[in-house]
Structure 1
Amino acid sequence: MKLSYTFSCLLLCISLAFGQKKAGYKEQWQFPAPDSSFYVTENQQKELYATEEEMNWFKDAKLGIFVHWGPALLETNVLSWGRNGERPGAGKPANKGIDPDIYDNLYKQFNPVNFDADKWMQQVKDWGAEYIVFTAKHHDGFAFFDAHNTDYTIMHTPYGKDICKELADAAHKAGVKLFWYYSQPDWVHPDNLREKHYENYLPYMKSHIKQLFTEYGKIDGVFWDHLATKYWQWDSYHVLKDMKFWQPGLISNARTGFDWPLADRGDYDTPEQSLGPIDHHRYWEACLTMTDKWLYSPKGPIKSAETILGMLIQVAGNGGNLLLNLGPNGKGEFVAEEAAQARRVGDWIKEYGETLRNTRRGIYVGGDYGASTQAGDTLYIHVLQKFATNTKPVISLPALPVSLKSVQGVTPGYQGFEISDTDLKLYFESEAFSRNIDNIVKLVLTKNPENLERIKTWEAKAIGSENFQIEASSFAKSGNEPEVIYEVEGNIFSEGIHLKSWWQPHQSDQNPALKLHLNKPKPIETVLISENMRSHSVSKFELLSKDQNDKWSTIYTGNYIGEGLRIKLNGNPVYGIQLRILESKYQTQITAFNIYE
Structure 2
Amino acid sequence: MISSFLFFGGALGQSKNKSYKEQWQFPPKDSSFIVTAAQQRELYATEEEMQWFKDAKFGVFVHWGPALLETNVLSWGRYGERPGAGRPAKKGVAKEVYDNLYKKFNPVNFDADRWMKQVKSWGAEYIVFTAKHHDGFCFFDAKNTDYDIMSTPYGKDIARQLADAAHKNNVKLFWYYSQPDWTHPDNLREKHYENYLPYMKEHLETLFTDYGKIDGIFWDHLATKYWQWDSYHIYKKMKEWQPGIISNARNGFGWPLQDRGDYDNPEQSLGPIDHHRYWEACLTMTDKWLYSPKGPIKTFESVLGMLVQVAGNGGNLLLNLGPDGKGEFVEEEVEEVQKIGEWIEKYGYTLKNTRRGIYMGGDYGASTQHEETLYLHFLEQLSDDAEAVFELPELPMKVKAVDGVTEGFKNYKVENGHLKLIFDKSDYQNNLDNIVKLELAKDPAEFERIETWEAIPVAASEFDVSASSSDRDNPEVLYQTDGNVFSEGIHLKKWWSPAKNDKNPTLTLEFNQPKKIRTVLLSEHIRTHSVRDFDIEIKDQSGDWKRIFKGSVIGEGLRIRLSGKKIYGIRLVVNKSRYRTEITAFNIYE
Q: TM-score, normalised by structure 2?
A: 0.98
Aligned to 1:310: 305
Deviations 1:98-142 (A, max 9, x none): 000000000000000000000000100011100000000000000
Partner of residue 504 from structure 2, selected from 508, 511, 514:
511
Per-residue deviation, 1:10: 7.1
- Check conservation: 1:363, 1:372, Cα contact below 8 A: yes
Aligned to 1:406: 401
- Check conservation: 1:303, 1:536, Cα contact below 8 A: yes
Per-residue deviation, 1:490: 6.2
Per-residue deviation, 1:550: 1.1
- Check conservation: 2:45, 2:244, Cα contact below 8 A: yes
Partner of residue 45 from structure 1, selected from 40, 44, 49:
40
What secondary structure does 2:377 align onto?
Answer: strand
Aligned to 2:281: 286
What secondary structure does 2:78 align onto?
Answer: coil
What secondary structure does 1:128 align onto?
Answer: coil
Partner of residue 77 from structure 2, selected from 58, 61, 82:
82
Query: Partners in 1 of 2:375 and 2:492 — Cα distance?
Result: 30
Deviations 1:341-377 (A, max 9, x none): 0000110000000000000000000011100000000
- Check conservation: 1:274, 1:491, Cα contact below 8 A: no
Which piece of structure 1 moves more, 416-425 or 529-538? 416-425
Alignment of 1:558 with 2:551, yes or no, is yes
Query: Partners in 1 of 2:494 and 2:403 — Cα distance?
Result: 42
Per-residue deviation, 1:234: 0.2
Aligned to 2:291: 296
Aligned to 2:340: 345
Per-residue deviation, 1:392: 1.6
Per-residue deviation, 1:462: 1.6
Partner of residue 525 from structure 2, selected from 523, 532, 545:
532
Query: Partners in 2 of 1:230 and 1:490 — Cα distance?
Result: 23
Superposition misfits of 4+ residues, deviation over 6 angstroms: none
Partner of residue 235 from structure 1, selected from 230, 235, 250:
230
Partner of residue 8 from structure 1, selected from 1, 5, 18:
5
What letter matches 2:51 in structure 1? Answer: N
Partner of residue 134 from structure 2, selected from 116, 125, 139:
139
Query: Partners in 2 of 1:312 and 1:11 — Cα distance?
Result: 46
Change (3 A) 1:10 1:309: closer
What letter matches 1:9 in structure 2? Answer: L
Query: Partners in 1 of 2:407 and 2:532 — Cα distance?
Result: 24
Partner of residue 369 from structure 1, selected from 335, 351, 364:
364
Aligned to 2:265: 270
What letter matches 1:183 in structure 2? Answer: S
Aligned to 1:335: 330
Deviations 1:278-309 (A, max 9, x none): 00000000000000000000000000001100
Query: Partners in 1 of 2:250 and 2:576 — Cα distance?
Result: 39
Partner of residue 319 from structure 1, selected from 293, 314, 319:
314
Deviations 1:61-102 (A, max 9, x none): 000000000000000000000000100000000010000000
Aligned to 1:590: 583
Q: CA RMSD in A?
A: 1.2
What secondary structure does 1:213 align onto?
Answer: helix
Query: Partners in 1 of 2:340 and 2:576 — Cα distance?
Result: 23
What letter matches 1:195 in structure 2? Answer: E
Which piece of structure 1 moves more, 272-281 or 480-489? 480-489
What letter matches 1:544 in structure 2? Answer: E
Per-residue deviation, 1:460: 2.5
Query: Partners in 2 of 1:353 and 1:373 — Cα distance?
Result: 11
- Check conservation: 1:292, 1:535, Cα contact below 8 A: yes
- Check conservation: 2:251, 2:260, Cα contact below 8 A: yes
Per-residue deviation, 1:58: 0.1
Query: Partners in 1 of 2:482 and 2:436 — Cα distance?
Result: 33
Alignment of 1:57-206 (within 5 A): 57-206=52-201
Alignment of 1:456 with 2:451, yes or no, is yes
Which piece of structure 1 moves more, 492-501 or 379-388? 492-501
Query: Partners in 2 of 1:527 and 1:55 — Cα distance?
Result: 37
Query: Partners in 1 of 2:7 and 2:467 — Cα distance?
Result: 54
Aligned to 2:12: none
Alignment of 1:219 with 2:217, yes or no, is no
- Check conservation: 1:502, 1:532, Cα contact below 8 A: yes
Query: Partners in 2 of 1:308 and 1:490 — Cα distance?
Result: 24
Alignment of 1:484 with 2:481, yes or no, is no
Which piece of structure 1 moves more, 21-30 or 396-405? 21-30
Query: Partners in 2 of 1:491 and 1:75 — Cα distance?
Result: 33
Aligned to 2:560: 567
What secondary structure does 1:9 align onto?
Answer: coil
Query: Partners in 2 of 1:174 and 1:501 — Cα distance?
Result: 43
What letter matches 1:38 in structure 2? Answer: F
Query: Partners in 2 of 1:470 and 1:491 — Cα distance?
Result: 21
Query: Partners in 2 of 1:22 and 1:561 — Cα distance?
Result: 45
- Check conservation: 1:274, 1:498, Cα contact below 8 A: no
Q: Which runs of 5+ in 2 are unaligned?
A: 10-14
Per-residue deviation, 1:21: 10
- Check conservation: 2:538, 2:547, Cα contact below 8 A: yes
What letter matches 1:377 in structure 2? Answer: E
What secondary structure does 2:289 align onto?
Answer: coil
Query: Partners in 2 of 1:102 and 1:494 — Cα distance?
Result: 34
Change (3 A) 1:21 1:107: closer
Per-residue deviation, 1:34: 1.0
Query: Partners in 2 of 1:22 and 1:575 — Cα distance?
Result: 54
Change (3 A) 1:314 1:490: farther
Per-residue deviation, 1:11: 11
Per-residue deviation, 1:489: 3.5
What secondary structure does 1:73 align onto?
Answer: helix
Per-residue deviation, 1:548: 1.2
What letter matches 2:5 in structure 1? Answer: S
Identity within the alignment, %: 67
Query: Partners in 2 of 1:21 and 1:432 — Cα distance?
Result: 65
Per-residue deviation, 1:421: 3.9
What letter matches 1:316 in structure 2? Answer: A
- Check conservation: 2:8, 2:189, Cα contact below 8 A: no
Aligned to 1:500: 493
What letter matches 1:492 in structure 2? Answer: V
Query: Partners in 2 of 1:375 and 1:431 — Cα distance?
Result: 30
Q: How many residues align?
A: 585
Query: Partners in 1 of 2:398 and 2:295 — Cα distance?
Result: 49
What letter matches 2:235 in structure 1? Answer: L
Aligned to 2:18: 23
Query: Partners in 2 of 1:417 and 1:402 — Cα distance?
Result: 15
What secondary structure does 1:302 align onto?
Answer: coil
What letter matches 1:283 in structure 2? Answer: Y
Change (3 A) 1:193 1:11: closer
Query: Partners in 1 of 2:491 and 2:308 — Cα distance?
Result: 19
What secondary structure does 2:419 align onto?
Answer: strand
What letter matches 2:557 in structure 1? Answer: G
- Check conservation: 2:219, 2:250, Cα contact below 8 A: yes
Aligned to 2:570: 577
